[in-house]
């Protein structure tokens, strides 16, 4: 199973951005763990991160032809980027939404996810382990 992991805006600042909320794991460390978990589960994983919404959408479009599942953490785009919703809506593969923090217990504006109605499963507030749980979910349900 080919799994694309897309991390969005400000995720490159992990480890430096509000460690009390997001932890001390950097994006490089997170991606390293995701690759390890993927190998252990015999999944082919590709991780990407961008602060450019257009690039994020292009990666979603590209996934239509070469990906069996998507794990997405759009970051703040989750709360307002209908363009990402519309791009994801076209995919005929499982989509898992992950957030390091529990967005449903944070500021009111963060509680809304414009992609919530499209996803197969959500893992929120689990820190980096949310990605492991997402990969295990995909492995168990392929």
Residue-wise pLDDT tens digits, 54-83: 999 999 999 999 999 999 999 999 998 999
Mean pLDDT of the chain: 94
Spot the catalytic one: 35, 56, 79, 99. 99
Spot the catalytic one: 22, 56, 85, 131. 22
Which of residues 23 and 28 earns the better pLDDT score? 28
Q: How many CB atoms lie within 10 A of CB 140?
A: 8
| Dihedral angle, C-alpha 18, 20, 25, 30, nearest 10 ° | -90
| Known active-site residue 85 | no
> What pLDDT shows up at residue 139?
97
| Known active-site residue 61 | no
């Amino acid at each position: 199973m080919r799994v694309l992991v897309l991390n969005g805006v400000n995720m490159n600042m992990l480890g430096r951005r509000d460690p009390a909320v997001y932890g001390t794991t950097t994006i490089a460390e997170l991606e390293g763990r995701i690759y390890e978990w993927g190998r252990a589960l015999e999944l082919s994983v590709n991780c990407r991160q961008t602060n450019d919404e257009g690039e994020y959408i292009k990666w979603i479009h590209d996934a239509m032809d070469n990906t069996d599942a998507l794990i997405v953490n759009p970051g703040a785009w989750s709360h307002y980027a209908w363009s990402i919703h519309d791009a994801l809506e076209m995919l005929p593969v499982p989509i898992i939404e992950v957030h390091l923090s529990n967005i449903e217990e944070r500021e009111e504006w963060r509680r809304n996810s414009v992609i919530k109605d499209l996803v197969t499963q959500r893992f929120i507030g689990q820190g980096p382990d949310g990605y492991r749980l997402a990969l295990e979910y995909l492995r168990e349900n392929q």
